[in-house]
Amino acid sequence: EVVCTSFGATILVVVTQYGKMGTLVSVEPEAVPDGINRTLWTTKVLLGKDEPLVHISAKHLVTSVSQEAGNKAVLLAMALKDKSIEGIRRLKELIHQCQVW
């Protein structure tokens, strides 16, 4: 299940395969020095397990959402059974179908 909503300067994305919110992660674009062409991203676990895979999955799932929304911050709640690359790709496609930004 995927639910997306926009609150001013933040987008909330809930991705769950357990029917609960799970780990809550903040994903925000960083200010970058002139001359750097790509955006840097900061992830911070606000609630739940703080593991490297959580940060990687969060960045992969929602950085493009933030970019499409004009680099808004994204609050991601995720509770995933399938943490495979293919599973993450399918979830990313579902997230992009929301288009609330």
Q: pLDDT at residue 33 above 80? A: no
Q: pLDDT at residue 22 above 80? A: yes
Q: pLDDT at residue 37 above 90? A: no
Question: What is the rounded average pLDDT of the residues 26-42?
Answer: 82
Domain total of the chain: 1
pLDDT category of residue 101 using cuts at 50, 70 and 90: confident
Question: Side-chain half-sphere of 51: how many Cα atoms within 13 Å?
Answer: 7
Specify the CATH number for the domain of residue 48: 3.30.230.90
The residue segments making up the domain with residue 54 are 2-98
Predicted TM-score (pTM) of this structure: 0.89
Q: How far is CA 6 from CA 3, 76, 89, 101, in A?
A: 11, 12, 22, 6
pLDDT category of residue 28 using cuts at 50, 70 and 90: very high
